[in-house]
Structure 1
Amino acid sequence: MKKSTTGLLLGSALVVGLSGCASSASQSSGMGDSSASDRAWYKHPAVCSVAGGLIGAGIGYGATDSDDEDTGAYVGGTIGAATAALLCAEPNKGPAPVGDSDGDGVPDDKDQCPGTPAGVAVDAVGCPLDSDGDGVPDYQDQCPGTPAGAEVNALGCVEDLVLQDVNFEFDSAKLTMGAESVLTDVASKLRANENVRVRIEGHTDSVGAAQYNKDLSQRRADSVASFLAGQGIAANRMTTIGYGEEQPVASNDTKAGRAENRRVELGEWE
């Protein structure tokens, strides 16, 4: 058998083997996220390159005249090595997907407020919503709807907040069920705004003895603080004071005025 024929037959056999190797490598890379280190040694691009070089050299040697055998082997080996390495190389999987570490729906590479607490509504750049633009996010704001441009405290309020519907049983410091519902929401926002401390004030109307009213207002303020503590607000974040009838906000001469004066206020404790 002629030398050229022998070289071609040998090269063809090696080509078939190499093609199978490359095909197996491609299939294995498509079966999951296996890294190149998990592949069989004979599927590695370096091994394929050596095999391809031998194939190309054999073909080049066998397919050329005797005067050009060395050149043919060199050229064939170079082309074969490069081609084989490409065949066995893993396909480009593209860039890794961007994560969303705080789970707010905004990818980390676009999130300007990373670490947003779970369940908090955010805007397009991943920052908590602040509907009234007062600088206190909605999930921490005890006074939503503050007028534009108004200066607010750490609670999001322009002044002390009157806790509407925080009422007590008659002549008692026991909270009504409706009051507990209101205070549960207050506590939720205080938990989210953990760096703020609060002042809880109790007030009464002028019916009854002044000292009795002062004591009652103190017990009511303490009752509110106790409920908030039960909702996870640390005691050292709260202070209470009972003013009794000393600071009316309306006239005590009318039923409506006296109702306004019986109140609990929440303010920032600096």
Structure 2
Amino acid sequence: MKKSTTGLLLGSALVVGLSGCASSASTDTSSNADKAWYQHPFVCGVAGGLIGGGIGYGTSGESDEDTGAAVGATLGTVAGALLCAEPNKEPAVASPVDSDGDGVYDENDQCPGTPAGVAVDAVGCPLDSDGDGVPDFQDQCPGTPAGVKVNALGCEADLVLRDVNFEFDSATLTPQAEQVLLGVAEPLRNNSNVGVVIEGHTDSTGSAEYNKKLSQERAASVARFLASQGIDPSRMRAVGYGEEQPIASNETDAGRAENRRVELGEWQ
């Protein structure tokens, strides 16, 4: 067989053989230790050296066969090893994660799962401006004095719902009262594990029996409005006390106005 023919055959073998190794290596994402034996750069280098040496020998003249074989072997070894070498990979860098979207990454977030839109501090916990243990977004009584014991609503005692008034001699809420109750409903939605009692009170005008019935209807009217704002009715209890629990004198207009009220408390 002529040398040129030998070189051509060996060259074809080099291209086919090493291309197979290289393609296998390029599609393999595992480490060198996990590769098939024929995919390792060392094996590919040896194969390339043998084939390259043959090419160099087959294509050189009679006077420089040794030199041609040596040069071919060197080039074949390098080419084979490079074709099967593990490609350089940039180390994967994990992006910081903020699961609850509060602006504090999970790795530093001491209060994961904060509801959307709630203001948080540097460690990802909801703000508690008055330090009473009830976060601002659940607090019905923000600004409680330091050290004061509060209930689950964030209040020292039952909360008098100022300006929650009704049409004259009825249980129909005024538009202003509904606006006030919208502000009450939001913290209640956020404080979903707390039950509340809604208390209706009247002044002493009229009979005690009538006043008790009216106060019950007014408390129930408030509960219905809060239910329309997403507060579970099972969390609410409406109670009418009529004129039984005055907080001011019924002898004056100002006192009677204070006694006509609705209060919100924790239902335990």
Q: Pick from 146, 149, 152: which aligns with 2:150?
A: 152
From the CA coordinates, give the structure whose radius of gyration is larger.
Answer: 2
With the length of structure 2 as denominator, give the TM-score of the two structures. 0.75
CA distance in 1, matches of 2:46, 2:167: 94
Q: Pick from 230, 240, 243: which aligns with 1:242?
A: 240
Cα separation, partners in 2 of 1:190 and 1:59, compared to 1, 3 Å: same
Cα separation, partners in 2 of 1:256 and 1:122, compared to 1, 3 Å: same
Q: After superposition, what is the alpha-carbon deviation per residue over 1:160-193, rounded to whole angstroms, capped at 9, x for unaligned?
A: 0111111111111000111111112222211211
Q: Pick from 137, 141, 144: which aligns with 1:143?
A: 141
Number of residues of Structure 1 aligned to a counterpart in Structure 2: 241
Q: Pick from 216, 219, 242: which aligns with 1:218?
A: 216
| 1:164 and 2:157 matched | no
> Which residues of 2 match residues 48-197 of structure 1 at below 5 A?
49=41, 50-55=43-48, 77=77, 84-86=83-85, 88-197=86-195
Q: After superposition, what is the alpha-carbon deviation per residue over 1:102-134, rounded to whole angstroms, capped at 9, x for unaligned?
A: 222222222211111111111222111111111
With the length of structure 1 as denominator, give the TM-score of the two structures. 0.74
CA distance in 1, matches of 2:122, 2:160: 34
CA distance in 2, matches of 1:149, 1:57: 86
SS at match of 1:265: strand
Pairwise CA distance, 1:225: 0.9
Equivalent in the alignment of 1:26: none
> Which residues of 2 match residues 8-23 of structure 1 at below 5 A?
none
CA distance in 1, matches of 2:199, 2:170: 16
Equivalent in the alignment of 1:261: 259
Cα separation, partners in 2 of 1:180 and 1:53, compared to 1, 3 Å: farther
RMSD value, Cα: 3.7
Q: Pick from 198, 201, 206: which aligns with 2:199?
A: 201
Which stretch shows the higher mean deviation, 253-262 or 156-165? 253-262
Cα separation, partners in 2 of 1:234 and 1:58, compared to 1, 3 Å: same
CA distance in 1, matches of 2:189, 2:89: 50
Q: After superposition, what is the alpha-carbon deviation per residue over 1:191-212, rounded to whole angstroms, capped at 9, x for unaligned?
A: 2111110111011112222222
CA distance in 1, matches of 2:140, 2:226: 14
One-letter amino acid of the counterpart of residue 202, structure 1: G
Pairwise CA distance, 1:48: 7.5
* Contact 2:99/2:113 (<8 A) preserved: yes
Give ranges in structure 1 of 5+ residues lacking alignment. 23-39
Equivalent in the alignment of 1:31: none
One-letter amino acid of the counterpart of residue 191, structure 2: N
One-letter amino acid of the counterpart of residue 183, structure 2: D
Cα separation, partners in 2 of 1:267 and 1:84, compared to 1, 3 Å: same
CA distance in 2, matches of 1:94, 1:220: 63
Cα separation, partners in 2 of 1:95 and 1:81, compared to 1, 3 Å: farther
